[in-house]
Structure 1
Amino acid sequence: MPTEFRAMPRRRTVLAAGAAALLAPLAVRAAGFREITWDELVPAGWDPMKDLGELPAGLQDSDPRAKALMDKLREIWDNAPTVPAMNGIDAKLPGYLVPLEEGKQGIREFLLVPYFGACIHTPPPPSNQILLGRAAKPFTGLRTMDAVWAYGRLEIERAPSSMGVAGYTMRVARVEKYRGK
Protein backbone atom coordinates (compact mmCIF):
# COMPACT_ATOMS: atom_id res chain seq x y z
CA MET A 1 0.00 0.00 0.00
CA PRO A 2 1.49 3.43 -0.91
CA THR A 3 2.54 5.52 2.11
CA GLU A 4 0.36 8.51 1.19
CA PHE A 5 -2.73 6.31 1.66
CA ARG A 6 -1.45 4.94 5.01
CA ALA A 7 -1.00 8.45 6.35
CA MET A 8 -4.57 9.46 5.52
CA PRO A 9 -6.75 9.90 8.64
CA ARG A 10 -9.43 7.25 9.09
CA ARG A 11 -12.31 9.76 8.64
CA ARG A 12 -11.08 10.77 5.18
CA THR A 13 -10.73 7.13 4.20
CA VAL A 14 -14.34 6.44 5.17
CA LEU A 15 -15.56 9.54 3.31
CA ALA A 16 -13.54 8.63 0.22
CA ALA A 17 -14.89 5.08 0.30
CA GLY A 18 -18.46 6.42 0.66
CA ALA A 19 -18.00 8.80 -2.27
CA ALA A 20 -16.57 5.99 -4.39
CA ALA A 21 -19.56 3.81 -3.52
CA LEU A 22 -21.95 6.58 -4.58
CA LEU A 23 -20.11 7.20 -7.85
CA ALA A 24 -19.70 3.53 -8.76
CA PRO A 25 -23.32 3.01 -9.87
CA LEU A 26 -23.05 6.04 -12.18
CA ALA A 27 -19.87 4.70 -13.75
CA VAL A 28 -21.40 1.24 -14.12
CA ARG A 29 -24.54 2.71 -15.72
CA ALA A 30 -22.52 4.88 -18.13
CA ALA A 31 -20.38 1.90 -19.05
CA GLY A 32 -23.55 -0.14 -19.63
CA PHE A 33 -24.53 1.82 -22.75
CA ARG A 34 -23.11 0.29 -25.92
CA GLU A 35 -22.12 2.88 -28.50
CA ILE A 36 -23.71 1.95 -31.81
CA THR A 37 -23.69 3.42 -35.30
CA TRP A 38 -26.55 4.01 -37.72
CA ASP A 39 -25.12 1.34 -40.03
CA GLU A 40 -25.69 -1.26 -37.30
CA LEU A 41 -29.43 -0.55 -37.47
CA VAL A 42 -29.63 -1.66 -41.13
CA PRO A 43 -29.65 -5.41 -41.86
CA ALA A 44 -26.65 -6.60 -43.86
CA GLY A 45 -27.45 -6.80 -47.55
CA TRP A 46 -30.67 -4.76 -47.40
CA ASP A 47 -31.10 -2.94 -50.71
CA PRO A 48 -34.21 -0.78 -50.99
CA MET A 49 -33.63 -0.26 -54.71
CA LYS A 50 -33.88 -3.95 -55.68
CA ASP A 51 -37.69 -3.94 -55.35
CA LEU A 52 -38.10 -0.91 -57.62
CA GLY A 53 -37.04 -2.75 -60.76
CA GLU A 54 -35.48 -0.94 -63.67
CA LEU A 55 -35.84 2.81 -63.46
CA PRO A 56 -36.96 4.62 -66.61
CA ALA A 57 -34.49 7.25 -67.82
CA GLY A 58 -35.32 10.93 -68.10
CA LEU A 59 -38.39 11.07 -65.83
CA GLN A 60 -39.75 14.53 -65.07
CA ASP A 61 -41.33 15.34 -61.70
CA SER A 62 -44.70 15.80 -63.42
CA ASP A 63 -44.58 12.31 -64.99
CA PRO A 64 -47.11 9.98 -63.28
CA ARG A 65 -44.48 7.20 -63.42
CA ALA A 66 -42.17 9.34 -61.24
CA LYS A 67 -44.91 9.75 -58.64
CA ALA A 68 -45.62 5.99 -58.73
CA LEU A 69 -41.91 5.24 -58.20
CA MET A 70 -41.71 7.71 -55.30
CA ASP A 71 -44.81 6.17 -53.70
CA LYS A 72 -43.31 2.68 -54.05
CA LEU A 73 -39.97 3.84 -52.62
CA ARG A 74 -41.76 5.53 -49.70
CA GLU A 75 -43.58 2.24 -48.95
CA ILE A 76 -40.27 0.32 -49.05
CA TRP A 77 -38.57 2.88 -46.77
CA ASP A 78 -41.49 3.04 -44.31
CA ASN A 79 -41.31 -0.76 -43.97
CA ALA A 80 -37.52 -1.03 -43.92
CA PRO A 81 -36.32 -4.09 -42.01
CA THR A 82 -34.68 -3.75 -38.61
CA VAL A 83 -31.94 -5.76 -36.89
CA PRO A 84 -33.42 -8.15 -34.30
CA ALA A 85 -30.16 -8.24 -32.29
CA MET A 86 -30.65 -4.53 -31.46
CA ASN A 87 -33.88 -5.19 -29.56
CA GLY A 88 -33.47 -4.58 -25.82
CA ILE A 89 -29.90 -3.30 -25.79
CA ASP A 90 -28.85 -0.27 -23.76
CA ALA A 91 -27.41 1.94 -26.48
CA LYS A 92 -25.67 5.26 -26.99
CA LEU A 93 -26.32 6.70 -30.46
CA PRO A 94 -25.34 10.06 -31.99
CA GLY A 95 -27.77 11.89 -34.22
CA TYR A 96 -29.79 15.00 -34.90
CA LEU A 97 -32.76 15.95 -32.74
CA VAL A 98 -36.22 16.48 -34.25
CA PRO A 99 -38.63 17.35 -31.38
CA LEU A 100 -42.16 15.95 -31.64
CA GLU A 101 -43.55 16.77 -28.20
CA GLU A 102 -42.16 19.94 -26.68
CA GLY A 103 -43.64 22.06 -23.91
CA LYS A 104 -42.66 24.61 -21.29
CA GLN A 105 -40.88 21.89 -19.31
CA GLY A 106 -38.85 20.66 -22.28
CA ILE A 107 -38.76 17.92 -24.87
CA ARG A 108 -40.36 14.60 -23.99
CA GLU A 109 -40.68 12.91 -27.41
CA PHE A 110 -38.42 13.30 -30.43
CA LEU A 111 -37.00 11.67 -33.52
CA LEU A 112 -33.29 10.98 -33.77
CA VAL A 113 -31.95 10.91 -37.32
CA PRO A 114 -28.51 10.25 -38.82
CA TYR A 115 -28.00 13.41 -40.88
CA PHE A 116 -28.79 17.10 -40.65
CA GLY A 117 -32.15 18.04 -42.17
CA ALA A 118 -33.61 14.52 -42.17
CA CYS A 119 -37.38 14.50 -41.49
CA ILE A 120 -37.49 18.28 -41.79
CA HIS A 121 -36.97 18.07 -45.55
CA THR A 122 -38.66 15.41 -47.66
CA PRO A 123 -38.45 12.55 -48.09
CA PRO A 124 -37.55 11.27 -44.62
CA PRO A 125 -34.96 8.47 -44.38
CA PRO A 126 -35.90 4.77 -44.29
CA SER A 127 -37.56 3.73 -41.03
CA ASN A 128 -34.47 1.77 -39.95
CA GLN A 129 -32.68 5.14 -39.91
CA ILE A 130 -35.23 6.92 -37.69
CA LEU A 131 -35.45 6.39 -33.95
CA LEU A 132 -38.36 7.63 -31.84
CA GLY A 133 -37.11 8.69 -28.40
CA ARG A 134 -39.45 8.84 -25.39
CA ALA A 135 -38.04 10.52 -22.30
CA ALA A 136 -39.62 9.80 -18.90
CA LYS A 137 -38.63 13.31 -17.79
CA PRO A 138 -38.52 16.21 -20.24
CA PHE A 139 -35.09 17.65 -21.03
CA THR A 140 -34.18 21.23 -21.88
CA GLY A 141 -31.39 23.21 -23.48
CA LEU A 142 -31.58 21.57 -26.90
CA ARG A 143 -33.19 22.68 -30.16
CA THR A 144 -34.30 21.23 -33.47
CA MET A 145 -31.40 19.69 -35.41
CA ASP A 146 -28.92 19.92 -32.52
CA ALA A 147 -26.35 17.12 -32.68
CA VAL A 148 -26.83 14.93 -29.59
CA TRP A 149 -26.02 11.62 -27.94
CA ALA A 150 -29.14 9.68 -26.94
CA TYR A 151 -28.79 7.01 -24.24
CA GLY A 152 -31.44 4.42 -23.48
CA ARG A 153 -33.07 1.05 -24.06
CA LEU A 154 -33.49 0.36 -27.76
CA GLU A 155 -36.59 -1.51 -28.94
CA ILE A 156 -37.85 -2.61 -32.32
CA GLU A 157 -41.18 -0.90 -32.76
CA ARG A 158 -42.58 0.75 -35.87
CA ALA A 159 -43.80 4.20 -34.85
CA PRO A 160 -45.37 6.55 -37.40
CA SER A 161 -45.24 10.31 -36.82
CA SER A 162 -45.94 13.44 -38.83
CA MET A 163 -42.22 13.57 -39.74
CA GLY A 164 -41.68 9.95 -40.79
CA VAL A 165 -41.92 6.33 -39.68
CA ALA A 166 -39.44 5.18 -37.04
CA GLY A 167 -38.33 1.55 -37.06
CA TYR A 168 -36.83 1.77 -33.57
CA THR A 169 -37.88 3.38 -30.32
CA MET A 170 -35.78 4.23 -27.29
CA ARG A 171 -36.77 4.58 -23.66
CA VAL A 172 -34.47 7.51 -23.13
CA ALA A 173 -32.32 7.67 -20.01
CA ARG A 174 -30.60 10.90 -21.05
CA VAL A 175 -29.82 13.17 -23.98
CA GLU A 176 -26.73 15.34 -24.13
CA LYS A 177 -25.16 17.72 -26.61
CA TYR A 178 -22.76 15.92 -28.97
CA ARG A 179 -19.11 16.49 -28.10
CA GLY A 180 -17.39 13.63 -29.95
CA LYS A 181 -16.38 10.38 -28.28
Structure 2
Amino acid sequence: MILWQLFISYLQIGFFGFGGGYAMLSLIQNEVVVRHQWMSNAEFADIVAVSQITPGPIAINSATYVGYTVGEQQGGVWFGILGSLVATFAVCLPALTLMILVTRFFLKLKHNRYVEGTMLGMRPVVIGMIAAAALLLIFPHTTDPADANFIDGWSWVLFAGVFIGSLRKVNPILLILLSAAAGVAIYYPW
Protein backbone atom coordinates (compact mmCIF):
# COMPACT_ATOMS: atom_id res chain seq x y z
CA MET A 1 0.00 0.00 0.00
CA ILE A 2 2.78 2.45 0.90
CA LEU A 3 4.59 1.71 -2.37
CA TRP A 4 1.43 2.52 -4.30
CA GLN A 5 1.04 5.80 -2.36
CA LEU A 6 4.68 6.66 -3.11
CA PHE A 7 4.15 5.89 -6.79
CA ILE A 8 0.97 7.98 -7.09
CA SER A 9 2.40 10.91 -5.11
CA TYR A 10 5.61 11.09 -7.12
CA LEU A 11 3.78 10.52 -10.40
CA GLN A 12 1.65 13.60 -9.58
CA ILE A 13 4.77 15.55 -8.65
CA GLY A 14 6.37 14.51 -11.93
CA PHE A 15 3.34 15.60 -13.96
CA PHE A 16 2.78 18.96 -12.27
CA GLY A 17 6.31 19.96 -11.28
CA PHE A 18 7.26 22.31 -14.10
CA GLY A 19 10.47 24.27 -13.88
CA GLY A 20 12.90 21.75 -12.50
CA GLY A 21 13.70 20.37 -9.08
CA TYR A 22 13.64 23.57 -7.04
CA ALA A 23 10.19 24.39 -8.38
CA MET A 24 9.07 20.88 -7.41
CA LEU A 25 10.19 21.21 -3.79
CA SER A 26 6.95 22.83 -2.64
CA LEU A 27 4.94 20.03 -4.26
CA ILE A 28 7.18 17.38 -2.71
CA GLN A 29 7.00 19.03 0.71
CA ASN A 30 3.21 19.19 0.50
CA GLU A 31 2.92 15.49 -0.38
CA VAL A 32 5.56 14.16 2.01
CA VAL A 33 5.17 16.39 5.08
CA VAL A 34 1.66 17.85 4.98
CA ARG A 35 -0.54 15.36 3.15
CA HIS A 36 0.90 11.95 4.05
CA GLN A 37 2.98 12.97 7.10
CA TRP A 38 5.68 10.47 6.19
CA MET A 39 8.30 12.67 7.84
CA SER A 40 8.69 15.92 9.73
CA ASN A 41 9.58 19.22 8.13
CA ALA A 42 13.04 19.06 9.73
CA GLU A 43 13.66 15.60 8.24
CA PHE A 44 12.47 16.88 4.87
CA ALA A 45 14.82 19.87 5.11
CA ASP A 46 17.69 17.46 5.80
CA ILE A 47 16.75 15.42 2.73
CA VAL A 48 16.65 18.61 0.63
CA ALA A 49 20.11 19.56 1.90
CA VAL A 50 21.54 16.14 1.07
CA SER A 51 19.78 16.19 -2.31
CA GLN A 52 21.41 19.50 -3.15
CA ILE A 53 24.96 18.36 -2.50
CA THR A 54 24.70 14.99 -4.24
CA PRO A 55 25.16 14.81 -8.01
CA GLY A 56 22.03 14.85 -10.11
CA PRO A 57 18.70 16.67 -10.23
CA ILE A 58 17.34 17.62 -6.81
CA ALA A 59 13.84 16.26 -7.53
CA ILE A 60 15.19 12.81 -8.42
CA ASN A 61 17.61 12.77 -5.50
CA SER A 62 14.91 13.77 -3.03
CA ALA A 63 12.53 11.18 -4.49
CA THR A 64 15.19 8.52 -3.96
CA TYR A 65 15.87 9.59 -0.37
CA VAL A 66 12.19 10.01 0.55
CA GLY A 67 11.29 6.66 -1.02
CA TYR A 68 14.07 4.94 0.89
CA THR A 69 13.18 6.60 4.19
CA VAL A 70 9.46 5.86 3.90
CA GLY A 71 10.07 2.29 2.72
CA GLU A 72 12.59 1.59 5.45
CA GLN A 73 10.17 2.83 8.12
CA GLN A 74 7.57 0.39 6.79
CA GLY A 75 9.63 -2.74 6.27
CA GLY A 76 13.38 -2.44 6.66
CA VAL A 77 16.32 -1.87 4.35
CA TRP A 78 15.14 -3.94 1.37
CA PHE A 79 11.72 -2.32 1.46
CA GLY A 80 13.52 1.04 1.62
CA ILE A 81 15.48 0.21 -1.52
CA LEU A 82 12.25 -0.80 -3.25
CA GLY A 83 10.61 2.45 -2.07
CA SER A 84 13.48 4.50 -3.48
CA LEU A 85 13.19 2.72 -6.85
CA VAL A 86 9.42 3.24 -6.99
CA ALA A 87 9.57 6.95 -6.08
CA THR A 88 12.46 7.64 -8.47
CA PHE A 89 10.78 5.82 -11.35
CA ALA A 90 7.46 7.59 -10.70
CA VAL A 91 8.95 11.09 -10.65
CA CYS A 92 10.89 10.40 -13.89
CA LEU A 93 8.08 8.67 -15.80
CA PRO A 94 6.05 11.77 -16.78
CA ALA A 95 9.10 13.70 -17.97
CA LEU A 96 10.37 10.75 -19.96
CA THR A 97 6.97 10.20 -21.58
CA LEU A 98 6.44 13.88 -22.34
CA MET A 99 9.94 14.33 -23.74
CA ILE A 100 9.49 11.43 -26.11
CA LEU A 101 6.21 12.92 -27.33
CA VAL A 102 7.30 16.55 -27.39
CA THR A 103 10.59 16.04 -29.21
CA ARG A 104 8.70 14.61 -32.14
CA PHE A 105 6.74 17.83 -32.58
CA PHE A 106 8.80 20.60 -30.98
CA LEU A 107 11.17 21.18 -33.86
CA LYS A 108 8.18 21.78 -36.10
CA LEU A 109 6.36 24.00 -33.59
CA LYS A 110 9.13 25.88 -31.78
CA HIS A 111 8.56 29.05 -33.81
CA ASN A 112 4.79 28.88 -33.36
CA ARG A 113 3.63 32.00 -31.51
CA TYR A 114 1.36 30.00 -29.19
CA VAL A 115 4.17 27.69 -28.15
CA GLU A 116 6.53 30.66 -27.63
CA GLY A 117 3.84 32.46 -25.60
CA THR A 118 3.27 29.41 -23.44
CA MET A 119 6.98 29.08 -22.69
CA LEU A 120 7.26 32.78 -21.83
CA GLY A 121 4.16 32.55 -19.62
CA MET A 122 5.59 29.64 -17.64
CA ARG A 123 8.70 31.58 -16.55
CA PRO A 124 7.00 33.66 -13.82
CA VAL A 125 5.20 30.56 -12.55
CA VAL A 126 8.51 28.72 -12.18
CA ILE A 127 10.01 31.64 -10.26
CA GLY A 128 6.97 31.71 -7.99
CA MET A 129 7.23 27.97 -7.29
CA ILE A 130 10.92 28.29 -6.42
CA ALA A 131 10.10 31.17 -4.06
CA ALA A 132 7.28 29.12 -2.50
CA ALA A 133 9.67 26.23 -1.87
CA ALA A 134 12.14 28.57 -0.16
CA LEU A 135 9.41 30.10 1.99
CA LEU A 136 8.07 26.67 2.98
CA LEU A 137 11.52 25.66 4.21
CA ILE A 138 11.99 28.93 6.10
CA PHE A 139 8.44 29.14 7.54
CA PRO A 140 7.18 25.54 7.79
CA HIS A 141 3.48 24.75 8.04
CA THR A 142 3.50 22.47 11.05
CA THR A 143 1.77 21.92 14.38
CA ASP A 144 4.77 20.21 15.97
CA PRO A 145 6.70 22.80 18.04
CA ALA A 146 9.98 20.90 17.50
CA ASP A 147 9.59 21.29 13.73
CA ALA A 148 8.49 24.90 13.82
CA ASN A 149 11.90 26.21 14.92
CA PHE A 150 14.39 23.97 13.17
CA ILE A 151 15.99 27.07 11.64
CA ASP A 152 17.80 28.74 14.50
CA GLY A 153 20.17 31.69 14.82
CA TRP A 154 23.20 29.63 13.81
CA SER A 155 21.43 28.64 10.60
CA TRP A 156 21.07 32.30 9.68
CA VAL A 157 24.72 32.98 10.53
CA LEU A 158 25.84 30.08 8.30
CA PHE A 159 23.52 31.26 5.53
CA ALA A 160 24.87 34.81 5.73
CA GLY A 161 28.47 33.56 5.68
CA VAL A 162 27.90 31.36 2.63
CA PHE A 163 25.93 34.12 0.88
CA ILE A 164 28.72 36.63 1.43
CA GLY A 165 31.29 34.03 0.38
CA SER A 166 29.39 33.33 -2.84
CA LEU A 167 29.17 37.07 -3.60
CA ARG A 168 32.94 37.29 -3.15
CA LYS A 169 33.38 34.36 -5.57
CA VAL A 170 34.75 31.90 -2.99
CA ASN A 171 35.06 28.39 -4.41
CA PRO A 172 31.69 26.59 -3.87
CA ILE A 173 33.39 23.36 -2.81
CA LEU A 174 35.28 25.25 -0.13
CA LEU A 175 32.02 26.85 1.04
CA ILE A 176 30.37 23.41 1.28
CA LEU A 177 33.31 21.98 3.25
CA LEU A 178 33.43 24.98 5.60
CA SER A 179 29.66 24.79 6.11
CA ALA A 180 29.88 21.09 6.90
CA ALA A 181 32.67 21.70 9.42
CA ALA A 182 30.73 24.55 11.03
CA GLY A 183 27.59 22.41 11.17
CA VAL A 184 29.45 19.59 12.91
CA ALA A 185 31.09 22.02 15.33
CA ILE A 186 27.79 23.74 16.17
CA TYR A 187 25.25 20.90 16.11
CA TYR A 188 27.15 17.72 16.95
CA PRO A 189 26.22 16.62 20.50
CA TRP A 190 29.72 16.65 21.99
Q: TM-score higher than 0.5 here?
A: no
Structure number with higher strand proportion: 1
Give TM-score scaled by structure 1 length: 0.22
Query: Is the helix fraction higher in 1 or 2?
Result: 2
Q: Which has the bigger relative contact order, CA under 8 A and spacing at least 6?
A: 2
TM-score computed with the length of structure 2 as normaliser: 0.21
